[in-house]
Amino acid sequence: MKTVVGIRLTNEETIQMEVNTVDYLTNDLQVADLSEQNLEQLNELHGEWKKPDLLIGANYFFNFIEPSKAKRINSGFYLVETKV
């Protein structure tokens, strides 16, 4: 089934997306809430596992991230800022 969702960005803009709905999306993914204050402690930060509400494709990907603000962290992963 298809539906339309609106995603509000940090600048108060809303992006309308036509999406497909499914009963099962994926297993839990590890997430962590970050702020400017705890970026220095990132290596010590423990995330939690959550099921995502929405997976986006490449056609919407760059509407939600700031690739120029990506930072490589000690683990070799990249910390990418989102507009959400």
Q: For the chain, what are the domain ranges?
A: 1-31, 33-83
Q: What does the chain come to in residues?
A: 84
pLDDT at 17: 92
pTM of the full predicted structure? 0.57
Q: Which of 77, 71, 83 is nearest to 14 (CA)?
A: 83
pLDDT of res. 74: 74
Give the bridge partners for 3, in sequence order.
19
> What's the pLDDT at 66?
84
Tens digits of pLDDT across the chain (84 residues): 899 999 999 899 999 999 999 989 889 987 777 776 666 666 666 677 888 888 888 888 888 888 888 888 777 778 888 888
Structure tokens given for 30:
């590890």
CB 48 within 8 A of CB 32: yes
The pLDDT value given to residue 82:
86
Quote the pLDDT of residue 8. 93
